Amino acid sequence: DVKVTQSSRYLVKRTGEKVFLECVQDMDHENMFWYRQDPGLGLRLIYFSYDVKMKEKGDIPEGYSVSREKKERFSLILESASTNQTSMYLCASRPAGPSSYEQYFGPGTRLTVT
Amino acid sequence: AQKVTQAQTEISVVEKEDVTLDCVYETRDTTYYLFWYKQPPSGELVFLIRRNSFDEQNEISGRYSWNFQKSTSSFNFTITASQVVDSAVYFCALSEVNSGGSNYKLTFGKGTLLTVNP
């Protein structure tokens, strides 16, 4: 069974803290993605990685960075958390190949920055 | 640039009613894929269906059916005889085959919150 896991379901951090959100997939997928989901805005792509050590900015990369040292793990880093980064963060993965392939999603991490 | 519009922000129905969720898309490509995902209260998006731009056949899967009309750039989703378990946020998404090499990106609509009341 396909599995994408995220390190925490709920996280509370203080403004200015460095925050790591971890995502692990067990499907040997090449492509991995980080989205944030906000009410009324849907899903917005922050960063994606098409292979180990490869990354590309999505639509809203400001304030975020990522790391992909191993194929199965994709980390989202908030260098200095701010209250406007309070959101639901969703990780996804898919195999490399045609754009017909669907993405598989993790359960999400609801981050609150106070 | 590609765009997906789900005009219905929220829909509320009573159990056993039929309900249709609308999705309209914009793309310059002739080859593309459309998807529907369901996000139940647990949070995880679940893939429901994929359609390519050359296949305009409607599809039915149990109580779910999808109507793809290229002429109106729409890919609507109907739930027949809705149930409480259908309550979720539903997202429509578009993937282009060629978009500067990033052919693995999805553009999502903003989602429709469906509430099915007993």
Q: How far apart are CA A53 and CA A68, in angstroms?
A: 5
Instruction: Report pLDDT for B58.
Output: 84
pLDDT class of B108 with cuts at 50, 70, 90: very high
Bin B21: left if φ > 0, else alpha if -120 < ψ < 50, else beta.
beta
The string of pLDDT tens digits covering residues B4-51 is 999 999 999 999 999 999 999 999 888 889 999 999 988 889 999 998
Closest residue to A99, CB basis, from B42, B47, B97:
B97
Top-confidence residue, B22 or B100: B22
User: How many angstroms separate the CA of residue A111 from the nearest CA in chain B?
Assistant: 13
Instruction: Report pLDDT for B98.
Output: 55
Using only the alpha carbons of chain A, give its radius of gyration: 13
Test mutation, A43, A49, A88, A104, chain B, max B CBs within 10 A: A43
Sign of the Cα pseudo-torsion (B59, B50, B82, B23, in order): negative
Q: Residue B95 pLDDT > 90, yes or no? A: no
Tokens of A93: 């993965």
Which stretch of B12-16, B53-57, B66-70, B106-110 has the lowest confidence by average pLDDT? B53-57
